[in-house]
Amino acid sequence: MAAEDELSRRTARLAKITELCGDPFFITKFDKTHSATAVKTKFEGLAAGEKTDQSVSVAGRVMAIRNNGMFVVILDDTDRLQIFHDLKASAPELLELLALLDLGDIIGVTGLVRRTPRGEITVDATELKVLSKALEPPPEKFHGLKDVEARFRHREQDLVATPRTRETLRARYKMVAAIRQYLYDREFLEVETPMLHVMAGGAIAKPFVTHHNALDMPLYLRIAPELHLKRLVIGGVSEKLFEINRCFRNEGLSPKHNPEFTSLEVYQAYVDFTAMIDLTEAIVHHVALMLHGTGKVKFGDKEIDFTPPWPRKGMVELVREHTGLDLDALTDPVAARAAAQKIGVSTEPGLSWGQIVETVFGHKVEDKLIQPTHVIDLPKEISPLSKAWPDRPHVAQRFETYVNGWEIANAFSELNDPREQRARFLEQAEQKRGPDDPPHPIDEDFIKALAFGMPPMGGLGIGIDRLGMLMTDSASIREVIAFPTMRAVD
């Protein structure tokens, strides 16, 4: 039967239902007394074949109709639940309505709870209401929705058809809630800063550009909230604050990159980056415990142990361990570049020593860091917002945390010297980057804010989507984003 026929068949049934008991789309409420799980839990003790005289009202989507409607399975946001209709003894109106049910309809049922001889908790329907009619059929009941494109373009279908999708997205949302609660409990204030920026700062990435009509000027979707968050700390809104929200980067898509993604950024005055290491471990471990009851989390064929503390290793030290190349001994960029070339890492000419270290690290080390590892001692040249060590001026007081080869956290002792910050920005603006990259703008408002006096502080960013992937054994970032970015179809 063609799709149009399916639509007209279901529409015809809707008309009949409307004749019988009114238009379902006019219904505004249903007094649901129990969720599917609540029913199953409450009557757990029933023996097979045992009946009760206790009535419940349940509601959900019709997932299966067996034995001509004798058994109907509904799904709500907790579980599936079986409904029984006595095809011989039920009221004729009920049976008439039952015959008009389709897979996917939303129904409300009132009836007595029993356990069938086969052991299934079941509601013997005495009342049936169609609360909403599905005019389109659901995906195949056993194999579900497999087509990746369809799953992401029509997440509602995927959610109905694929238990794993429900679990993954729920876990992601619970994870975000757990992180918020963790920080609330420690008196961090959750704040909001602009999504629309006059210039996109706080990171290096290509921004999305839009235009404000009334102001007749370009605006950029933020690539990071960092600079505004620091300004809030400077102003004294709170010495401990955070934001969990979206950032946007106009770059390539990959299993680890979505154009919009969620980041957590935390700032705390009067602490250094080592406090952010502790906080990173605490937050991530807390999330693992909350979702899995243990710090050890399965990912693919690996087991990742989030139990603190995690090892800290220098970036140059790691490069040495994995390649034998000691970049500390080659501080001249030309020599460093030649040495990198020898071990098969070619770099653009004109890169700084720090950029070469980062490139070699990215090619030779990154994907080997499976268990949580804090990479410390990052080059100052690639850390324009971080304080350097007084006794090691080319090394930043910064770390990046890697898990499963992915960067999931990035933090530093925040640079608060406005003169030094201006110099770093200028250096940044001159640094060699991609051929079509726009020049890095200098955010004078931010420098002015620093000049107003920023307390020493630690700042931390955690990629929520990637953390979500780790916590849900998801190979693609799209699994943990309800509606990942897709190309438009005609």
Helix, strand, coil fractions of the chain, as percent rounded to 5: 35, 25, 35
Q: Is 82 in the site for RNA (CB under 7 A)?
A: yes
Residue from 21, 27, 70, 451 binding RNA (CB under 7 A): 70
Q: Is 298 in the site for RNA (CB under 7 A)?
A: no
Site string for RNA, 352-371 (x = CB under 7 A): ----------xx--------
Q: Is 94 in the site for RNA (CB under 7 A)?
A: no
- Nearer Cβ to RNA (225/295): 225
Site string for RNA, 254-293 (x = CB under 7 A): xx-x------------------------------------
Contacts of range 136-145, beta carbons closer than 8 Å, 24 or more positions apart = 136/6, 136/7, 136/10, 136/104, 137/6, 137/10, 137/102, 137/103, 137/104, 138/61, 138/63, 138/103, 138/104, 141/63, 141/64, 141/103
The structure tokens 């204030």 sit at 189
Residue from 39, 46, 59, 73 binding RNA (CB under 7 A): 73
Count of residues that bind RNA according to CB under 7 A: 74
The phi, psi pair for 285, rounded to 5°, reads -65, -40
- Nearer Cβ to RNA (67/341): 67
Neighbours of 66 (CB within 10 A): 10
**Contact region with RNA (CB under 7 A), list: 127-135, 311-319, 464-472, 480-488:** 480-488
- DSSP per residue over 333-369, as a string? HHHHHHHHHHTT----TT--HHHHHHHHHHHHTGGG-
DSSP 8-state secondary structure symbol assigned to residue 257: B
- Nearer Cβ to RNA (281/479): 479
* 421-440 positions binding RNA, by CB under 7 A: 428, 433-434, 437
Contact, 193 vs 232, CB < 8 A?
Answer: yes
Distances (CA, A) of 67 to 18, 83, 473: 25, 12, 38
Site string for RNA, 381-410 (x = CB under 7 A): -xxxx---------------------x--x
Length of the chain: 490
Nearest to 399 by CA among 288, 482, 275, 488: 275
Distances (CA, A) of 90 to 86, 87, 234, 250: 5, 6, 71, 60
- Nearer Cβ to RNA (126/476): 476
- Nearer Cβ to RNA (117/235): 117
* Longest Cα separation, the chain: 90
Q: Is 487 in the site for RNA (CB under 7 A)?
A: yes
* Chain mean position to CA 370: 20
Minimum distance, C-beta of residue 458 to RNA, in the bound complex (Å): 15
- Per-residue HEC secondary structure of 64-90 comes to EEEHHHCEEEEECCCCEEEEECCCCCC
* 7-26 positions binding RNA, by CB under 7 A: 9
* 120-159 positions binding RNA, by CB under 7 A: 120, 122, 137, 139-150, 152
Residue from 8, 33, 68, 341 binding RNA (CB under 7 A): 68
Minimum distance, C-beta of residue 327 to RNA, in the bound complex (Å): 18
Q: Is 456 in the site for RNA (CB under 7 A)?
A: no
Q: Is 252 in the site for RNA (CB under 7 A)?
A: yes
* 179-218 positions binding RNA, by CB under 7 A: 202-205
- Nearer Cβ to RNA (288/351): 351
